[in-house]
Amino acid sequence: MNQVNEILRDIASFGKNEDGSYTRTCYSPEYFEAATAVEKQMKSLGMKTEWDAAGNIHGILPGTRSGAKSILIGSHMDTVPHGGLFDGAYGVASGLAVVKRLVDEGKKLEHPIEIYGFNAEESNPIGGTFGSRAVTGLVDPKQLGLGDALAVYGHTVDEIMGCQREFSDVKCYLEAHIEQGDYLDNEGLDIGVVSGIVSVIRYVVTASGQSNHAGTTMMKKRRDAMVAMAKLIVESDKACREIDDKLVLTVGTITCDPGSENVIPGRVQCIFEMRHMETEKTDELIKRIREIAAGIDTVEFTITNKINKGSVQCDSHLMDVIGQAAETCMTKHVVMPSGAGHDANPMAHKVPSAMIFVPSKGGLSHCKEEWTDPEYLEKGADVLYETVLRLDTEG
């Protein structure tokens, strides 16, 4: 299926930076340029297209049997700032490649095929996996600051709540994606059959101390919020490593008040993010973090949950079908979990869902060096195509 590379570069070329990276943030002009290119591809294949207020592009190829449930294929079109070519966009391109191959070969399926190009999957002011959560009705209308954040993009909470679709007419959801880790690449494997998607849990952690003069306040009297936060981060990292080698903790943002070189920080705030397939592991980590914070007596810590996207298991039957498809395509494959979040997570709360991984060279992602060799992109699209054919014959 050589066309997947051509389709990918057509729809994902928008937002390319001078350094070779890509930036298509949610609701940005670059995002809509890419999504419009997807719509053009959809229309050229005879698909009916529609947009929603969440910024999702949606295409439908009718089936031949009345009442047959739809097979959904999707991924996202937005990127992190200075991200790579493949993350998200590959899943949309592979879905289009499946439909193009059906059209080129003159095959008509009993089941409708629907393709979603989702908006705002990456971290953003309105929350990650936003487009797919809007479609599945999993956006919390009471989310703190949601109305103000949406107003920046010219939308309202009511408009987003109106994006929810009915899923009684859906058979399943499939998503092809680059692994974003190095397991497949290291092991020389072609395909990953995803068993589940880890949770993404974030806490707002605030250290409140006392701002004071940097020159006249002696060390023994300081209530330095930055030092306290640094201690908490280091000890929390240590605790994470002790609990489980598949548990991960990241502190990627920090704000300091008043933020002056000659003033002791009085207030420091960070986001602590943790991921694992088992709730027990993340529960144990946040318990340990709270205990560590309680033992740092120079400041007061507050720890508040911001996001709790629970882990999901992929559908076992769909995993079996993907495995059979991989064997038919003579690809070397393995069953493996996903350490990254995906649109398949919210979709799995509504319909049977599964994912197909292809290797990421060196395990690099969310950067300009992100790369998957064309042969692997084609193998992933071939497996997706064969999976769709098998699902269509099930009735």
Cα 365 from Cα 370, distance rounded (Å)? 5
- Please state, in angstroms and as integers, the Cα–Cα distance from residue 359 to each residue in 70, 92, 331, following that order: 28, 17, 12
Q: Is the pLDDT of residue 355 over 80?
A: yes
**Max CA separation in the chain (angstroms):** 81
CA nearest neighbour of 233 among 253, 216, 219: 253
130-153 residue pLDDT tens: 999 999 999 999 887 899 999 999
pLDDT at 3: 85
CA nearest neighbour of 262 among 222, 214, 210: 214
- Backbone dihedral angles phi then psi of residue 57, each to the nearest 5 degrees: -105, 135
Q: Quick check: 86 and 67 in contact, CB under 8 A?
A: no
Domains annotated for the chain, with CATH where assigned, are: 3-197+311-392 (3.40.630.10), 200-309 (3.30.70.360)
Q: Among 37-46, 240-249, 253-262, 300-309, whose mean pLDDT is lowest?
A: 300-309
pLDDT at 98: 98
CA nearest neighbour of 97 among 390, 383, 333, 391: 383
Q: 82 exposed, middle or buried (CB, 10 Å; 0-12, 13-18, 19+)?
A: middle
Q: Which amino acid makes up residue 9?
A: R
210-237 residue pLDDT tens: 999 999 999 999 999 999 999 999 999 9
Cα 340 from Cα 90, distance rounded (Å)? 15
Cα 269 from Cα 303, distance rounded (Å)? 10
76-99 residue pLDDT tens: 999 999 999 999 999 999 999 999
pLDDT at 199: 87
Q: Could you tell me the pTM of the whole model?
A: 0.88
- Please state, in angstroms and as integers, the Cα–Cα distance from residue 382 to each residue in 110, 297, 356, following that order: 20, 58, 11
pLDDT at 257: 97
- Mean of the per-residue pLDDT values for the chain? 96
* 258 prior amide bond cis, ω within 30: yes
